[in-house]
Amino acid sequence: MASQASTQTPLPRVAIQFCTQCKWMLRAAYYAQELLSTFSTTLGEVALQPSTGGTFIVSITHQAPSAETASTKVLWDRREDGGFPETKELKRRVRDVVEPQRDLGHVDRDHGKKKEEAKIQDEEKPAKIGEKESENVAHVKPTWLPLTHSPAHSSES
């Protein structure tokens, strides 16, 4: 049985609770490896915590420079967030806590594209509630061809 260590835990500390019954240890270890590769010495510790009952929760314990005590924040909960995080989303959430000013390179560029695409889609929506759909749709010639009667399939033979 595990006991509490009397020494202070290095912060920030990411804890990944995973369900052993669901066989999610490899997934948890993969996320841990990705976070350690990206944040290396910025993170004090990444811990894997075996659990049961379909649990998959990633949390971070950190201490803000002006705070006297550490606080814990849930970064991802499988039940609340729906499934498992994309690695780049988990990295963004860790970054937002430990180094908000840090650029994550391609991870941030992809995120910026998605934000821009969503903005463009919002702009393409009808401006008026009563606007007819036909006024908002570009008129395109159909690419289908009408079916013709084929003599090969005729029942008159």
Question: Which range marks the domain in which residue 42 is found?
Answer: 13-104
Residue 64 lies in a domain: yes
pLDDT at 24 (0 to 100)? 98
What CATH number corresponds to the domain at position 20?
3.40.30.10
Residue 3 lies in a domain: no
Residue 126 lies in a domain: no
DSSP letters along the chain, please?
Answer: -----SSPPPSSEEEEEEETTTT-HHHHHHHHHHHHHHHGGG-SEEEEEEE-TT-EEEEEEE--TT-SS-EEEEEEEHHHHTS---HHHHHHHHHHHH-TT---THHHHHHHHHHHHHHHHHHHS-SSTT--HHHHS-------------GGG-TT-
Q: Into how many domains does the chain fold?
A: 1
Per-residue pLDDT of the chain (157 residues; tens, 9 = 90+): 555 555 688 899 999 999 999 999 999 999 999 999 999 999 999 999 999 999 999 999 999 888 899 999 999 999 999 999 999 999 999 999 999 999 888 777 766 556 566 555 655 555 555 555 555 555 555 556 556 665 555 555 4
Claim: this prediction has a pTM higher than 0.75? no
pLDDT at 157 (0 to 100)? 46
Residue 1 lies in a domain: no
pLDDT at 70 (0 to 100)? 93
Place of tokens 């159909």: 142
Backbone angles phi, psi at 18, to 5 degrees: -135, 150
pLDDT at 122 (0 to 100)? 58
Residue 65 lies in a domain: yes
Residue 145 lies in a domain: no
Residue 146 lies in a domain: no
Residue 89 lies in a domain: yes
